[in-house]
Amino acid sequence: MMSERSNVLNPLLVLILVPAVFCTVQPPTFNPEMLTPMRTIGDCQACRVFIESFKEGLERTSRGKYEGGDAAWEEEKLKKSYKRSEIRLVDIQEGLCKTSKFSFQCHSMAEKAEEFIEEWWAQDPDESTDLYAYICIDNLKVCCPEHHYGKECTPCPGDHSKPCNGNGKCRGDGTRKGNGTCSCDAGYEGQFCDKCAVEYYLSYKDENKMLCSPCHVSCLGGCRQGTQKDCVACKTGFSFDTDEGCLDINECDDVDRCTRDQFCLNSIGSFKCADCDRACSGCYGDGPDSCRKCAKGYSKKGEFCIEDREDEDQSEKLTTTRYLTYIGLIIATGILLPKSTPLGSIVGAMVLIYIVGAEYYCMINGHTGLVNLKDFNLIQIFHT
């Protein structure tokens, strides 16, 4: 008995379960780091990430563990012993690098740092010890102090507090990498970033600071100040005027600049040819209201070129068909009515409802009905 029932049920169960299974299957999850090229960070930054994570762990475990200890003094004692305990260190290490984007690099740094961390922990250090300097600079030797670079942590060249004149970075600053040369910010160049780059001019200078600002967009090869009058020369797309400096050339003044089915758009220093609207055959701007002439199949209605509508004839054909249907129905009612009055009246009523309904439908959809409401001027009716 049981087996028979389950035989019947099995296909049913399959029918129910199969879609259920398909619907609950999780889409495969991708590690986003697999899809986007993995961003790598240098050893010094990895060490920095690790130290941040370790400090978070210190913070997280700073309130101690409150398990057991009925009396307040007992709890206090437990808290004190936990503070520098192996247990707390393990608690911290368990949570390390979990929330970091660079958890892989962080973990490998944590492994390298483990012995030094344990040393530091065993020394019962003052919480204020700079853990970053202790681990990353002094022991792991992956970082350098600020404004120092390279294997030996050489000081960056130039003014120590402001390498590269404050307008760039000394390559490898703070790490054991780089060669200490300046990598200048945009607008600056020179060995110590103390010159303005081409297309920039010196806009401010005192003993401490120099500022370079970009030349006017129309300038080519430098300038004295920031306006179009200060250019050394003009870029292409600009013409030189003795009073006004570099002026934009309106390329669109040339009527033959673009092809016949395009219009011209001037921009500062350049121009663009854009296609006319498809309603146009030649145009002086965008859209069907800017045509010189209408394209084939379109005709002018006011400002616009509008597509010639073929469906107007079709709509007329449909209207004729509709009226013919009405006539057919009325004739059928006329034949039925004398034969059987009750049936005839019912059919007559239905035909009437059908016609009224169909006309109403046509009217609200804007087709021409028997009564075209738009032609009906109600105000006029009341006035006469």
Ligand X SMILES: *[C@@H]1O[C@H](CO)[C@@H](O)[C@H](O)[C@H]1NC(C)=O
Binding residues for ligand X, rule: CB under 6 A, are 171, 179, 181
The nearest distance, CB 234 to ligand X, in angstroms, is 33
Cross-strand bridge partners of residue 202: 212
CA distance 176 to 149: 6
Provide, rounded to whole angstroms, the least separation between the CB of residue 38 and ligand X: 22
- Is 142 exposed, middle or buried, given 0-12, 13-18 or 19+ CB atoms closer than 10 A? buried
Element (H, E) at 112: helix 103-122
Residues 6+ apart with CB under 8 A from 374: none
Q: What is the DSSP letter of 94?
A: H
- Measured from the Cβ of residue 170, the count of other Cβ atoms closer than 10 Å reads 25
Residue 90, Cβ density class (10 Å: 0-12 exposed, 13-18 middle, ≥19 buried): exposed
Output the residue with the shortest Cβ distance to ligand X: 179
Give 157 or 226: the residue with its C-beta nearer to ligand X: 157
- Say which residue the tokens 């701007």 belong to: 285
Q: Which is nearer to ligand X, 88 or 147 (CB)?
A: 147
How far apart are CB 108 and ligand X at their closest, in Å? Answer: 24
Return the number of the residue (139 or 181) whose C-beta is nearest ligand X. 181
Of the two residues 65 and 177, which places its CB atom closer to ligand X in the complex? Answer: 177
Decide whether 64 or 190 has the Cβ nearer to ligand X.
190
The nearer residue to ligand X, 88 or 169, going by C-beta atoms, is: 169
Q: Which is nearer to ligand X, 45 or 290 (CB)?
A: 45
Which among 146, 154, 125 is positioned nearest to 58, based on CA atoms?
Answer: 125
Amino acid at site 93: Q
User: Which residue number, 172 or 245, has a Cβ lying nearer to ligand X?
Assistant: 172
Q: Shortest gap between Cβ of 184 and ligand X (angstroms)?
A: 12
Q: Which alpha helices (DSSP H) does 25-97 contain, by range?
A: 32-35, 43-60, 72-83, 86-94
What's the longest Cα–Cα distance across the chain?
A: 118
CA 1 centroid distance within chain: 64
Closest separation in Å from C-beta 168 to ligand X: 13
CB of 198 to ligand X, least distance (A): 19
Beta bridge partners of 238: 248
Eight-class DSSP state of 151: T
In the complex, least distance from residue 177 CB atom to ligand X, rounded to whole angstroms? 9
